[in-house]
Structure 1
């Protein structure tokens, strides 16, 4: 029996089987309510209500600045995409840095264009570890893409560096099949190997190098312990087959893809909140939340979901419910709202204080960013004369809020640093 046949036999289309998972999550487990896109919006909305009611000691919401922000984002979109044909916000855009379509060239060389499912598997093998490596690089680090004569920093540099590492077989334990990411290779990835691949050194420091390597090693361990999704031998590309079996010929809901990733990859994240044995990932406490008091963001996992939709569509899958996913609460989108004063600190000194990812200010700012992006998206569409159906949220992000956040940061601060000083461990931002 093939891997996909085994999945189809073991997995119902509407529920996640408990067999073969590192950390099974039953549908009635209390963590289930937090491991979904709906929880991100609903709980961030509670934080927004708390702030709008004037109950926050940290921030205020200033909606009078939304029109100017929307005009700035719309101007950025028109400049970068004059025809308004904006792709989804995803990791694939970074692989195209410098106008070079590295993925198309690699797929053609490997003969993947005539095998849509295997092309999607290899795309998953590439993009999943690349997204997990996409936490902020810091302002000093650069990656030299010698083949194309480019010096790249931040997300573009991280994307191209991880692409080169993958293309060279860095995530495969089988030299005869380099274009895959398997558990055996990931579980033994050393920081020195990652430093070499990313050209990191004392003179070219990369923030969170140890944390990045540890995250990929943990990914390998979790894959090995989750054969229901990643098969045996465990390979990230097998997730395509898992999703194909769950879809069973129907449209694949983007929120369902996220839910699968949150359950399958939740145990990867280090040092996070655990609820009755289930790791919650990017989920943090806030006093505005009743009950368990937690607000989920799932930023990297949502970013990963956006990045998986494109190869799934290219393989012939129909995707629905893209707007179920939220905007990404990170320093470009959230920085845009701070720089325009839509989110305003009660004490301006807060912006100069180094803050950890679990600090109350960072948690509240991220929650405001999620809801703020929904409101800003509506205003941007009005500026462009487009509907939500024709210009969904991932297009607003790509066109868009992320680029506009980078643009205004570059105008206001040397090196384009965000308006908040964030102490990152390489696993959130």
Structure 2
């Protein structure tokens, strides 16, 4: 079993490596051992706190939503049908940022990652570990840039002349920026993400790379650039995880050093990211000096705090493939939860698994800290677990064969987009959330 990061490194700490992933400053992560915030920086906290909110709503104690679990079978049937249409052999990949890097024309995929590796001479068996570092270098900034783009933005892929929107457009735009060396501080080595370069990224850099113009606005431009700058600052201040000089890909060496018999637990990866990258997120709610990130207030919990950690869990899902490609087996995927955002949550909302008591709810624009949005997100986390169990039953698959990461991809996220397209012209979510580019 991997030791949790808040307890400090195991005896000997992370091993020194030629790539800089060395514990030069002791346990340098920003959450001290035994800090009360540590209990909220886990997937278990997300699941149990969201369950408490669901119980509150199911008991009729909420003035915001009613809960209708009898509609789970209808949602599951719709999701199972979506999975069979998209993956007739049921060989569903993980839900991760890597799917967006594959975006092509209708029904097509473009393996941009494979092309990039071939061009860089990194396709061989001996290149597995460096390929993993590069994959991590790519995917961390890309996930942080993945908040909703807004309805008016699109990205024209120079390689294919395709016009891509939403997450696919954001994914390809960030991929292209990375491939051009946009995150590298090393001359002649474009395929890196170095803290020194990330610390200097500004909104104009993102605007140019993402083709932002008056007629092509991108929601949360300043927020995205601010996240990348803080990412660079935090990585540079955390040599225990990111090495010296700080490079995001050194996270691979850190996780490898903490693996047991070549295995690393998904919950350990998530908590490592939550602890190491916690200061990246804008200051919202803090507990004894530690920012809790994507954590919000709701009266159903004893201390009033409900964590979601949506983008960090999305990042954890997105690290599975580079880690496994390098030979690390990631176990315990059930420790991660569903992602409470507008596609998964929109699916459950559209199927009236949760119904707002206010008939004008969907017509208004909401903020992420409103109790009604916190409640909807919590119900989404619980609802996704219930839907996943029912989907597996419909498909005749076990949780081991078809973990939540595959249900989401197959899956609830695609089904959310599908039902949105049927319900509303252009397929927008069922209601609007005012986002600063750092939550969804």
> Where on the TM-score scale, by shorter chain, does this alignment land: which range?
over 0.9
Give 2:390's aligned residue: 379
Give 1:205's aligned residue: 217
Q: Please report how far the alpha carbon of residue 401 of structure 1 lies from its aligned counterpart in structure 2 after TM superposition.
A: 0.2
Structure 2 distance, partners of 1:240, 1:279, is 25
Structure 2 distance, partners of 1:158, 1:52, is 37
Question: Structure 1: 5+ residue runs without aligned partners?
Answer: 1-5
Give 1:184's aligned residue: 196
Give 2:423's aligned residue: 412
Structure 1 distance, partners of 2:260, 2:29, is 24
Match of 1:113 among 123, 129, 134: 123
Q: Please report how far the alpha carbon of residue 11 of structure 1 lies from its aligned counterpart in structure 2 after TM superposition.
A: 4.2
Give 1:352's aligned residue: 363
Calculate the aligned-residue CA RMSD, in Å: 1.6
1:17-416 equivalent positions in 2, closer than 5 A: 19=26, 21=28, 23-26=30-33, 28-98=34-104, 99-114=109-124, 115-290=127-302, 292-416=303-427
Q: Please, what TM-score do these two structures have when normalized by structure 2?
A: 0.93
User: Which whole-Å deviations, capped at 9, do the CAs of 1:195-219 have from their partners, x for residues lacking one?
Assistant: 0000011100000011000110010
Q: Please, what TM-score do these two structures have when normalized by structure 1?
A: 0.95
Structure 1 distance, partners of 2:197, 2:357, is 48
Partner SS for 1:9:
coil
Q: Please report how far the alpha carbon of residue 18 of structure 1 lies from its aligned counterpart in structure 2 after TM superposition.
A: 8.2
Q: Does the CA contact (< 8 Å) of 1:33 and 1:39 recur in 2? A: yes
Q: Does the CA contact (< 8 Å) of 2:273 and 2:312 recur in 1? A: yes
Give 1:3's aligned residue: none
Q: 1:356 to 1:120 in 2, by over 3 A?
A: same
Q: Does the CA contact (< 8 Å) of 1:229 and 1:242 recur in 2? A: yes
Q: Please report how far the alpha carbon of residue 250 of structure 1 lies from its aligned counterpart in structure 2 after TM superposition.
A: 4.2
Q: Does the CA contact (< 8 Å) of 1:10 and 1:17 recur in 2? A: no
Runs of 4+ residues over 3 Å off in structure 1: 6-9
Structure 2 distance, partners of 1:112, 1:280, is 38
Partner SS for 1:344:
strand
Q: Please report how far the alpha carbon of residue 243 of structure 1 lies from its aligned counterpart in structure 2 after TM superposition.
A: 0.3
Question: Structure 2: 5+ residue runs without aligned partners?
Answer: 1-8, 16-22
Q: Does the CA contact (< 8 Å) of 1:327 and 1:397 recur in 2? A: yes
Query: Which structure's residues are more often helix, by fraction?
Result: 1
Structure 2 distance, partners of 1:18, 1:310, is 29
Partner SS for 1:84:
coil
User: Which whole-Å deviations, capped at 9, do the CAs of 1:53-79 have from their partners, x for residues lacking one?
Assistant: 000000011122211111111111011
Partner SS for 2:410:
helix
